[in-house]
């Protein structure tokens, strides 16, 4: 099953559904024990627990209570704990009593030489940036990558919005985030600020959430195993046609790069057939002789899905081609120049009943939607997809793929090595091949994004890459994901 993420209201519903576990304090005890367990494991990994030094930044309410109860567990294990209470009069009294009884210290400032700092300032109810007092405490810390303490955030890094993933300034940047039961939207949408996310089972479930909470965009992500299982592989009875024939219209004789990258990615992604239509036919075939090339739509054979737009121009001829393709009942992926044409002629895709996948970056999205993406990328992409009744893949470090119902599949690339010219052409070719193989648009987009991101990581190995390097790593990336099935 996909990993499901909840917004703040849905988390509250799931907690409330536990009844006495919430009101009796059991959930807090389980949560704080989980935070302490993650920290103890991290301390053991880096030299043991006894005598290590941990700071705790404590806000008002339950988030601070979780941090204080976790500090009590650590103190009983011989960890020297020092807590800073940002609002002493509002500190969680039960957590404060447990912390003091365990021998934890209270001070006005964090001492030097800490191994780790717990961020217990605010949780899912927090809004906006860190307040002045909290910001001053964290500003004095040396970043972990420069030899400072690891920061472990309770539930969410403070200053990060739980629903939208907006990282305010200032905000905590966590090394590890420990959350409870079900991950929150921000754990995907603000992944760089969250660090490694550890989900602790405390007895709450997304199954308890009612339909009212689902009025907001519903965010999920695929596991590697799910991507591997949906990837088309030939069966004994398959032939080149049954595995999917994708047509690519991209590039030009003057600018053949987009054609080569998109077509090459389609060839690499599946074992079916790739047809190319356009003026860069000679260049494409010289790189990929297995491609069946034609110069006009009149000369192309049958296809089962189309990729159109990368480097293909925005003139009247491009409009004519788009109108012809989008007037069929075949799946169509529109990218790059094709999106510019669609932005001027939205009637080409709005309400189209055949599968339609639009793959904009932020600038292209703004032209399509008539407004900037804004801070809430999740709501923006869901709104456009539901309004136009198409599937929209919004590119970025966190790629979001929204379907016409408002459901969104997200993918964290884990880095930005794929932010290079031509990388989008590769993504289009991969996703188009998956459409031709029969995958629905949202699944095709999300699976392609996962392979694309892994290919960029394989190609880079910590050094800059170009789109050609990324394309060369697509096949190993697919193999790695397929290997998760046998490893599992």
Between CA 115 and CA 48 the distance in angstroms is 11
pLDDT band at 488; cut points 50, 70, 90: low
Q: What is the Rg, in whole angstroms, of the alpha carbon atoms belonging to the chain?
A: 25
Question: What average pLDDT score do residues 325-332 get?
Answer: 98
Contact 457, 414 (CB under 8 A): yes
Last residue of a domain, one of 216, 233, 255: 216
Binding residues: 62-66, 119, 123-129, 155, 158, 258, 311, 361, 395-399, 424-425
**What is the pLDDT, as a whole number, of residue 238?**
82
303: closest CA among 325, 281, 334? 325
pLDDT band at 253; cut points 50, 70, 90: confident
- pLDDT beyond 70 at 338: yes
Integer angstrom CA distances of residue 14 from 182, 201, 202, 221, 241: 9, 13, 11, 20, 47
CATH classification at residue 280: 3.40.1190.20
Judge if pTM exceeds 0.75: yes
Domain match, 154 and 258 both: no
Distance in angstroms between the alpha carbons of the first and the last residue of the chain: 15
Binding residues for K(+): 63, 119, 158
**What is the pLDDT, as a whole number, of residue 213?**
47
Domain match, 168 and 277 both: no
**What is the pLDDT, as a whole number, of residue 169?**
96
Binding residues for AMP: 395-399, 424
Write the pLDDT tens digit of every residue in 448-476. Answer: 999 999 999 999 988 999 999 999 999 99
Q: Is 353 exposed, middle or buried (0-12, 13-18, 19+ CB in 10 A)?
A: exposed
CATH classification at residue 202: 3.40.50.10260
Choose the weakest-confidence range: 20-24, 285-289, 366-370, 421-425.
Answer: 20-24
- pLDDT beyond 70 at 360: yes
Mean residue pLDDT across the chain = 95
pLDDT band at 210; cut points 50, 70, 90: low
Write the pLDDT tens digit of every residue in 369-396. Answer: 999 999 999 999 999 999 999 999 999 9
Q: How many domains does the chain have?
A: 2
Domain match, 159 and 234 both: no
Phi, psi angle pair for 367, to nearest 5°: -70, -40
Contact 105, 82 (CB under 8 A): yes
Domain match, 107 and 236 both: no
pLDDT band at 211; cut points 50, 70, 90: low
Last residue of a domain, one of 216, 245, 261: 216
Domain match, 201 and 246 both: no
Range of the domain at 171: 3-216
Binding residues for (6S)-NADPHX: 62-66, 123-129, 155, 258, 311, 361, 425
């Amino acid at each position: 099953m996909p990993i499901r993420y909840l917004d703040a209201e849905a988390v509250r519903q799931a907690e409330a559904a536990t009844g006495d576990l919430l009101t009796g304090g059991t959930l807090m005890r389980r949560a704080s024990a989980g935070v302490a367990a993650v920290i103890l494991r991290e301390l053991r990994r880096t030299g043991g627990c006894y005598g290590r030094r941990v700071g705790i930044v404590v806000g008002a309410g339950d988030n601070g209570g979780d941090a204080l109860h976790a500090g009590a567990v650590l103190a009983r294990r011989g960890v020297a704990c020092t807590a800073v209470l940002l609002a002493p009069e509002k500190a969680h009294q039960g957590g404060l009593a447990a912390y003091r009884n365990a021998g934890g210290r209270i001070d006005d400032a964090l001492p030097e030489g800490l191994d780790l700092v717990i961020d217990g300032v605010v949780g899912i109810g927090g809004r906006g940036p860190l307040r002045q007092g909290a910001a001053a405490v964290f500003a004095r810390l040396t970043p972990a990558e420069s030899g400072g303490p690891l920061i472990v955030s309770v539930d969410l890094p403070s200053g990060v919005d739980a629903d939208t993933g907006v990282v305010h300034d200032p905000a905590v940047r966590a090394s590890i985030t420990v959350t409870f039961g079900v991950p929150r939207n921000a754990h995907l949408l603000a992944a760089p600020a969250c660090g490694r996310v550890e989900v602790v089972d405390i007895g709450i479930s997304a199954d308890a959430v009612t339909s009212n909470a689902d009025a907001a965009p519903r965010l999920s992500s695929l596991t590697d195993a799910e991507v591997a299982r949906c990837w088309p592989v030939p069966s004994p009875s398959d032939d080149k046609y049954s595995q999917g024939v994708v047509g690519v219209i991209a590039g030009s004789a003057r600018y053949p790069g987009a054609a080569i990258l998109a077509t090459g990615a389609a060839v690499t992604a599946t074992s079916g057939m790739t047809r190319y239509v356009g003026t860069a036919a000679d260049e494409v075939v010289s790189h990929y002789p297995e491609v069946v090339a034609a110069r006009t739509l009149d000369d192309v054979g049958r296809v089962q899905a189309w990729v159109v737009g990368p480097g293909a121009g925005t003139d009247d001829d491009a409009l004519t081609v788009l109108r012809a393709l989008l007037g069929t009942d075949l799946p169509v992926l529109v990218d790059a120049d094709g999106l510019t044409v669609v932005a001027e002629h939205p009637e080409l895709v709005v309400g189209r009943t055949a599968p339609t996948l639009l793959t904009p970056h932020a600038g292209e999205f703004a032209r399509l939607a008539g407004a900037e993406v804004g801070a809430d990328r999740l709501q923006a992409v869901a709104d456009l997809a539901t309004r136009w009744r198409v599937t929209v893949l919004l590119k970025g470090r966190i790629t979001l793929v929204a379907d016409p119902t408002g459901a969104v599949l997200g993918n964290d690339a884990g880095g930005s090595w794929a932010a290079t010219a031509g990388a989008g052409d590769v993504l289009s070719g991969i996703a188009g091949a998956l459409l031709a193989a029969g995958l629905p648009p949202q699944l095709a987009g999300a699976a392609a994004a996962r392979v694309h991101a892994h290919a960029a990581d394989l190609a880079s190995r910590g050094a800059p890459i170009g789109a050609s390097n990324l394309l060369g790593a697509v096949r190993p990336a697919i193999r790695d994901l397929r290997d998760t099935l046998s490893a599992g």
